[in-house]
Structure 1
Amino acid sequence: MAESESGQDKTEEPTDKRKRDAREKGEVARSKELNTFAVTLGGAAGLLIFGGFMAETMMDLMRMSFSLTREMVLNQDAMGALLLTSGKMAIWASQPVLILLFVLSLIAPIALGGFLFSGSLLQPKFSRMNPLAGIKRMFSLHSLTELLKAVAKFFLVLIVAVVVLAHDREALLAIANEPMEMAIIHSIQVVGWSTLWMAASLLLIAAVDVPFQMWQAHNKLKMTKQEVLDEYKNTEGKPEVKQRIRQVQREMSQRRMMAAVPEADVIITNPTHYAVALKYDPEKGGAAPLLLAKGTDFVALKIREIGVEHKVQILESPALARAIYYSTELESEIPAGLYLAVAQVLAYVFQIRQYRAGKGKAPDPLKSDLPIPPDLQRDS
């Protein structure tokens, strides 16, 4: 079981943040054996596919290089031009195989760890210059594993090479008796097939190394319980800080709510446990009354006190107060099911205002059984 520097066991799976941070640092699973297998196999395949073209181009190069006239031998400029032409032909002959190897050298790492460019990998690490740390790495478990892989790879390739060469012994000896053109083509074919079989033997090493590298990278990212807790605190915030933030938010929300109470048209109460403050302003295009404030117990008492202070009409309707409290959010319109009941309340309030202004008669008392739909009713 992996241990951290503090001695605690790394028993927890890595978090998403831990994985993202590791990827940004370039710490992903990579397998050198997979890269070696892909490049070697691609080189062998390239020799078999493009071997004929390479052989013909190289034979043309040899004919041109060894077919020199007296004038060319004595002309220094001609020799320089011949050398330049020979170089171009050599590059042109090997270009298909080189391009194939370049593509495979990019695809192999991407196939395991995905495409990744990390600037942190380019930064110098002076800790690697420490001789003691270097000696420690030489005798680490990782170095031992790499040594065992190298030894296994050496013997495996050696055995396959001996078997392949023994199998192709007669073909290799026959090359000496073939014409030069046929001998060159035959040599490339033998080298290509021999390399292909030796590359195929590396598949066994890569098949073992790839899962091991994935397991090792995952095991390296595992965390202790304390690391998980610390990361949660750093990303989500400490519980006491979050609680304080929520408390401040509630206090700010309550202050805004209380500041809106003087603008209300009516405050409907339970009478003591619930209080809701409503405002209806048809000139602003509101389709229904808005809930400016609501609360229970102490908050309800505070709403009533502010209402009395600013001479807002306060009415008792327990069923309607509970229905509005539970069905409507702050600064939102009341539900359609309460339109009729609230309309009767507002009509009563406006009639009282007219009466107090000396423009009408005293209204009849407000009905106690206001129409509230069953699905909006709440028990006390």
Structure 2
Amino acid sequence: MSWAKCSTPGPKPDREPQMLANLHLAFRAVFPSSDLWQCSNSGLWNTSSIARSCGSALNSGDESATSDAPVTGSPVESVASLAGQKVDSEFAIAEAIKNTAEAAREQWAVSFVRDLPSTEILAIDTISAPASSEWLDLQLFAAEDEGRTEEPSERRKREEREKGNVPKSQDMAGSAILIGGVLMLFLFGTYMVQRIGEMFSRYFGLIATQQGVFGIEELQVLMKDLFYQTGMILLPILLVTIVMGVIGNVVQVGLMFSLQTLQFRFERMKPDFKRVLPVRRNLFNLLKVIMQMLIIAGAAYLVIIDDFIPMLKASGMGLTQAVTIFATVALKLLLLCGVLLLIISIPDFFYQRFEYIENLKVTTAEAKRERKDEEGDPLLKQRQRERAYEMRRQKNMLGEVPQADVVITNPTHYAVALKYDQLESTAPMVIAKGTDQLAFSIRKVAQEYSIPVEENPLLARTLYRDVEIGQEIPESLYRAVSVIFSRLTKFRQRAGA
């Protein structure tokens, strides 16, 4: 990451040599191994060579040194010795810095020392000097999604789901609510109108009976009954719309309950320019809104054309018949719009899933860190697998020791078990070997099964080093091993006699 420390601008100092030495240290801190100190015959640093040097240093990733480079002699002599000639003034250095910043495509920064007060030196086009000395992160202006190429892990998706961040189309749930409400009005609209008419008739009759004079208790009873009757009329529609809204969300994200989306977050108050900039999501939403407007206009045209004649005849009908005709047309229009919007919400749902995955993508380093946190350190897991494999191998190898003819030892640090079957092999074969604790286990098994143990340090080390398990011994060891087998054969013959 590139950083720049900018100092407070001030008057030009009289200590030009000290300033040049400090500037030299600053350049050394950024590009320690480049040929930045080559100069031209004019006595000034050549800006083109500086730009080339900075570019090569950037390409090679040379941004990691410190500014602890020793400076010998006077500051002017130090700079002149590195540059080859004496530098004329800090104004030339400032111009070189500007040109270098442009040539390097504004991808680098110079770590200025704090006691550099020269306004000309700090007047760099790519860095604005603040009023006080502070560190500025130059990567704040980089693309937010730069380098985010790895797919999100299941753990990351699960964490976002717990926060209530899931991919879904709001239009799908809204369309389902609209369709459910319109269907309820189609099915129970007449009944609801009758109930409303009966309710108002009863209330108007009660008012006429009381001549508009009510006590406080009578008025409370009247208001309670009014709210109850209104609630009973609207309750079926409210229940259906709630159920349809839940179904519209469950179909997209499954059963989920999270209160974190209701919590206040200060980050939501910050201005987000992405909402107004022509990014991909905003362009898609614009196209979606245009499509919805066209669909609503087309649906209205089709419904009105289909019922145009009955609507014209309504002018000569009674109030009830006219209201019925226009209410039927409105419900047909709402139902058609709801169905069409529901169809449009299907591609919107898949687009929201695409944007959701894109926003959750991480960099390669973040993906490795997540895998490390979830699965553990890969190196540790590798060591554990290697250890488990080694333990299984040792266990299998110890199971072969009882078939050995002889065990050759160091006598304590090495142990090699040999088996010789004249029908299966032409020479003795190594069936087990080990050092230290494993060698002790081999000797212990040999003692349990009465297998001869021969002490021959040189032969044991040679067999362990040169012969792998399952291989026959080389011809160079035939003589040494044959001596041991001959002695064992004679011993067995005497024991049998």
Shorter-chain TM-score above 0.5: yes
Confirm or deny that 1:167 pairs with 2:306. yes
Per-residue deviation at 1:174?
4.5
User: Does the 8 A contact of 1:274 with 1:300 survive in 2?
Assistant: no
Unaligned stretches of 5+ residues in structure 1: 276-293, 318-324, 327-363, 367-380
Structure 1 residues 166 and 268, CA gap change in structure 2 (3 angstroms): closer
Residues 269 and 314 in structure 1, CA contact (< 8 A), matched pair in contact too: no
How much has 1:27 moved relative to structure 2?
A: 2.6
Quote the offset at 1:14 in angstroms: 3.6
Amino acid aligned to 2:189: G
Residue type of the alignment partner of 2:200: M
Moved more, 85-94 or 146-155: 146-155
- Contact persistence 1:51–1:185 (CA under 8 A): no
Identify which range, 90-99 or 115-124, moves more after superposition: 115-124
Flag the 1:251–1:85 CA change in 2: closer, same or farther, 3 A.
same
Structure 1 residues 300 and 271: alpha-carbon distance in aligned structure 2, compared to 1, 3 A threshold: farther
Residues 1:233 and 2:367 aligned together: no
Residue 375 of structure 1 is matched in structure 2 by none
Q: Secondary structure at the match of 1:73?
A: coil
Structure 2 residue 173 is matched with structure 1 residue 38:
no
Residue matched to 2:162: 24
| One-letter amino acid of the structure 1 residue matched with residue 434 of structure 2 | D
Deviation of the 1:115 alpha carbon: 1.6
Note the 1:252-291 alignment, pairs <5 A: 269-272=404-407, 273-274=416-417
Deviations 1:217-240 (A, max 9, x none): 233344444443333222222233
Aligned residue runs from structure 1 range 120-135, under 5 A: 120-131=260-271, 134-135=272-273
Partner of 2:200: 62
Distance verdict in 2 for CA 1:110–1:140, change over 3 Å: farther
Q: What is the TM-score normalised by the length of structure 2?
A: 0.49
How many equivalent pairs are there? Answer: 290
> Quick one: distance in 2 between partners of 1:66 and 1:365?
128
Identity between Structure 1 and Structure 2 (%): 24
C-alpha separation in 2, matches of 1:78 and 1:237: 73
Contact 2:164–2:258, Cα closer than 8 Å, also in 1: yes
Per-residue Cα deviation, 1:65-111 (whole angstroms, up to 9, x for no partner): 33232425222344443333233222212221111101001110110
- C-alpha distance in 2, partners of 1:209/1:191? 26
Distance between the aligned counterparts of 1:183 and 1:78, measured in 2? 37
8 Å CA contact 1:72–1:79 kept in 2: the answer is: no
Aligned-partner residue type, residue 118 of structure 1: S
Partner of 2:221: 81
The equivalent residue for 1:102 is: 242
- Change over 3 Å in CA distance of 1:197–1:246 after alignment to 2: closer
AA at the equivalent of 2:373: N
Q: Residues 145, 253 of structure 1: CA spacing in aligned structure 2 closer, same or farther, 3 A cutoff?
A: closer
Instruction: Give the stretch that moved more between structures: 199-208 or 89-98.
Output: 199-208
| 2:147 alignment counterpart | 8
Taking a change above 3 Å as real, the CA distance of residues 32 and 231 of structure 1, as seen in their structure-2 partners, is same
Deviations 1:125-183 (A, max 9, x none): 2222223xx23333252334333323332342133224423433443455555455555
Relative contact order, higher structure (CA 8 A, sep 6+): 1
Match of 2:464 in 1: none
1:216 equivalent in structure 2: 355
Contact 1:268 1:314 in 2 (8 A): no
1:40-70 Cα shifts (integer Å, max 9, x gaps): 1111111101112111111112222332324
- Structure 1: how far apart are the matches of 2:392 and 2:247? 56
SS at structure 2 position matched to 1:296: strand
Matched residue type, 1:28? V
The answer on whether the counterparts of 1:59 and 1:181 sit within 8 Å (CA) in structure 2 is: no
- Contact 2:295–2:340 (Cα < 8 Å) also in 1: yes
Preserved CA contact (<8 Å) 1:269 1:316: no
Listed as ranges, the matches of 1:181-220 within 5 Å are 182=321, 185-220=324-359
User: How does 1:328-339 map onto structure 2 within 5 Å?
Assistant: none
Which residue identity is paired with 1:232?
Answer: R
In structure 2, the residue corresponding to 1:74 is in which secondary structure? coil
Partner of 1:289: none
Aligned match of 2:433 in 296, 299, 304? 296
Give yes or no for contact 2:160–2:166 (8 Å, CA) kept in 1: yes
Distance 1:114-1:307 versus aligned 2 partners, 3 A rule: closer
Counterpart of 1:315, as a letter, is I
Q: Quote the Cα distance in structure 1 between the aligned partners of 2:188 and 2:244.
A: 16
Indicate if the aligned counterparts of 1:26 and 1:121 stay in contact, CA closer than 8 A: yes
Q: Does the CA contact (< 8 Å) of 1:33 and 1:202 recur in 2?
A: yes
Query: Structure 1 residues 44-53 or 185-194, which shifts more?
Result: 185-194
Question: Pairwise CA RMSD of aligned residues?
Answer: 4.0
Measure, in 1, the Cα distance between the counterparts of 2:287 and 2:145.
30
Amino acid at match of 2:267: S
Over 3 Å counting, the alpha-carbon distance change for 1:34 and 1:66 in structure 2 is: same
Conserved in 1, the CA contact under 8 Å of 2:314 and 2:322?
yes
| 1:51 aligned partner | 189
Contact 1:267 1:304 survives alignment (8 Å): no
- What runs of 5+ residues in structure 2 fail to find an aligned partner? 1-141, 408-415, 419-430, 454-468, 471-494
Compare 57-66 and 181-190 and name the one that shifted more.
Answer: 181-190
Say whether the 8 Å CA contact 2:182–2:334 is kept in structure 1. yes
SS class of match (1:315): coil
**One-letter code aligned to 2:441:** I
The worse-fitting range, judged by mean Cα deviation, of 43-52 and 236-245 is: 236-245
1:315 paired residue number: 451
Give yes or no for contact 1:48–1:192 (8 Å, CA) kept in 2: yes
Task: Say which SS state the counterpart of residue 69 (structure 1) adopts.
Answer: helix
Could you tell me how far 1:206 is from its partner in structure 2?
1.3
Q: What code does the residue aligned with 1:115 have?
A: L
